[in-house]
Amino acid sequence: MNKDLIYPRGNDKQTVYLKSVVTSPNIIVGDYTIYNDFYSDPCEFEKNNVLYHYPINNDRLIIGKYCSIACGTKFIFTSANHSKQSLSTYPFPIFYNEWSLSIEDITSAWDNKGDIVVGNDVWIGYEAVIMPGVTIGDGAIIGTRAVVTRDIPPYTIVGGVPAREIKKRFPDETISRLIDIQWWNWEDSRVQEKLQDIMSGNIEGL
């Protein structure tokens, strides 16, 4: 295992370890999380998939370990919003020069929703959209082209627009045990040792 690789599958240039290609200090990605893109260069994830993510807000995209992010997934940040407190939806503070406003007030043009947090071992399907301020729990599955507008509990499968729960992946007891075990924080050697149990769904083997 080499978590520092860019292309973990050798000649496959469509799949990257995401941690190895992001540069923004406000994008934090865990080990072994992958992104696949068959339309664009996956190394351009930060530019193509993390949208309206302006440094002035200091909001962060935090993605855990062992996540699988499918082609076209978009993370929409708070600057995509327009303030709902204003009597107008027009973002006057962005055009501060035109309207004799202060640049220091620019963030009042939108409602600040905060960080996007994706847990560990999360699978995000093709062209899903994750909206600002959302937290996705460990082990969740986000369906193809789902639009996630609210927090998703751990080990929950969601789909649709807006995304709604379809079902839990496992019984509550198994989910609680997985959250307690947190296998994604194990040393690589222990993950390797227990890999067959993980892949076969043998919770007792962990």
* Residue 38 belongs to a domain: yes
Are residues 118 and 157 both part of a single domain? yes
**Range(s) of the domain holding residue 146:** 15-83+112-169
Residue of higher predicted confidence among 120 and 10 = 120
Are residues 124 and 180 both part of a single domain? no
Are residues 138 and 182 both part of a single domain? no
Are residues 79 and 140 both part of a single domain? yes
Return the pLDDT at 3.
84
Binned at pLDDT 50, 70 and 90, residue 177 comes out as very high
Span of 16-25, 107-116, 156-165 with lowest mean pLDDT: 107-116
Q: What is the pTM assigned to this prediction? A: 0.92
Residue of higher predicted confidence among 89 and 24 = 24
> Is 82 assigned a catalytic role?
yes
Question: pLDDT per residue over 53-89, tens digit each?
Answer: 988 888 999 999 999 999 999 999 988 888 888 888 8
Are residues 55 and 34 both part of a single domain? yes
Closest CA to 15 of 28, 1, 33, 29: 33
Is the confidence at residue 104, as pLDDT, over 80? no
Closest CA to 40 of 5, 70, 60: 70
Q: How far apart are CA 56 and CA 142, in angstroms?
A: 29
Are residues 184 and 139 both part of a single domain? no
Are residues 122 and 24 both part of a single domain? yes
* Residue 30 belongs to a domain: yes
Token output for 195: 């890999």
Return the pLDDT at 187.
95
Residues 11, 202 contacting (CB under 8 angstroms): no
Return the pLDDT at 113.
86
Question: pLDDT per residue over 115-154, tens digit each?
Answer: 999 999 999 999 999 999 999 999 999 999 999 999 999 9
Catalytic residue among 3, 60, 74, 82: 82
